[in-house]
Amino acid sequence: MLIDVRYNAVSCKPEFSKSRLKEYLEANGIRYLHVRELGVPRTVRNRLIETGDYEWFFRWYDDNVIAAQTERLNELLALDCPFVIMCAEPEPFRCHRARIAEWLREKGFEVYDLR
């Protein structure tokens, strides 16, 4: 399963926009799930771009998403298959998916970076 954690699952590359990505993955036996609640709203992304303050960004994400979406995150723990987490940022150390990965590690999951 691929879990898309982009707030808005669109891309300037059409093959990475939600409907085409889902269609391609499912045609190849891979389930697709968009979890918008784990994404980052544009206003927050814009502030990060303006300031470059990743410390603030990760603190914001932990306080406003991880803490608020515990139930949604717990649904990931109950999945009956391996999954990958996808967003638009190529570098995991600069991405909110690193915070999701850390939460999963704390719950006993093995987490790998697929670069």
pLDDT (0 to 100) of residue 113? 84
Please report, in tens digits, the pLDDT of each residue of the chain (115 residues total).
999 999 999 999 999 999 999 999 999 999 999 999 999 999 999 999 999 999 999 999 999 999 999 999 999 888 889 999 999 998 888 999 999 999 999 999 999 888 7
Strand partners, 84: 2
pLDDT (0 to 100) of residue 12? 92
pLDDT (0 to 100) of residue 93? 86
pLDDT (0 to 100) of residue 101? 94
Q: Which residue intervals of the chain are DSSP H helices?
A: 18-27, 42-51, 54-61, 70-77, 97-106
pLDDT (0 to 100) of residue 77? 87
pLDDT (0 to 100) of residue 80? 85
pLDDT (0 to 100) of residue 115? 72
Domain spans, the chain: 2-106
Residue 12 sits at the vertex; the CA angle it makes with 68 and 86, to the nearest 5 degrees, is 40
CB 30 within 8 A of CB 1: yes
Q: Which residues of 97-106 are buried (b: 16+ CB within 10 A; e: fewer)?
A: bbbbbebbee
